[in-house]
Structure 1
Amino acid sequence: MFSIIGWVLFGFLVGLIARALVPGSQPMGCVRTIALGVAGSFIGGAIGFLLRGGSVVQSSGWFGSVIGAIILLVMTVRHRRSTDPR
């Protein structure tokens, strides 16, 4: 139970940090911010796995999580701009 609450809080904080560091508008609510942070953690873990090797892809620490969330957020913003009909 507490591990789920911990992941939610961690994901929310990482998502907020990533959204603060990426310029521009990112219209998303709390749930998408949490998902951004949690997914960023696993992307950061995958990048760490590729750079230094290891036995299994796992979540990363604060720094890797924020880097992964920034990568995911930039990809999302660029995709949204390219498909915007305006």
Structure 2
Amino acid sequence: MIFTILGWIVFGLIAGFIARAIVPGKDDIGILRTILLGIAGSVVGGLIFGLLTVGIRGFEPTGWIGSVIGAVIVLLAYNQITGRKRNRL
């Protein structure tokens, strides 16, 4: 159980950091929000890819891609809702 939770945290952190690198501009969210962003993105991406393909799968390259795409979607929505996005100088 504890390894599952740690796996989600690490997976969320990686997906969140990749999403933050893809979306232009500076994100003033801390590491905890980055982890939550990645986890939420994994869920969103998993649901989207699950609807477009046969079903939900485990840790595969398509799962990573879907997680990052989902994290980008969640980050863009978060930035629109909160209005926190600032341009890089």
Under a length normalisation based on structure 2, what TM-score does the superposition of the two structures give? 0.78
Secondary structure of the residue aligned to 2:8 is helix
Gaps of 5+ in 1: none
The match for 1:42 is 43
Ranges in structure 2 where 5+ consecutive residues have no aligned partner? 85-89
Given residue 67 of structure 2, which amino acid in structure 1 is its aligned partner? Answer: S
Distance 1:80 1:16 in 2: 19
Which of 45-54 and 32-41 deviates more? 45-54
SS in 1 for 2:83: helix
Q: Runs of at least 4 residues of structure 1 off by over 2 A?
A: 57-60
Which amino acid in 2 is paired with 1:7? W
2:43–2:67 Cα contact (<8 Å) kept: yes
Relative CO higher for 1 or 2, CA cutoff 8 Å, sep ≥ 6?
2
Contact 1:11 1:36 survives alignment (8 Å): yes
Identity within the alignment, %: 49
- Look up the match of 1:69: 71
**Equivalent residues of 1:46, 1:58 under 8 A apart:** no
> Which residue in the other structure is 1:33 paired with?
34
Distance 1:81 1:4 in 2: 31
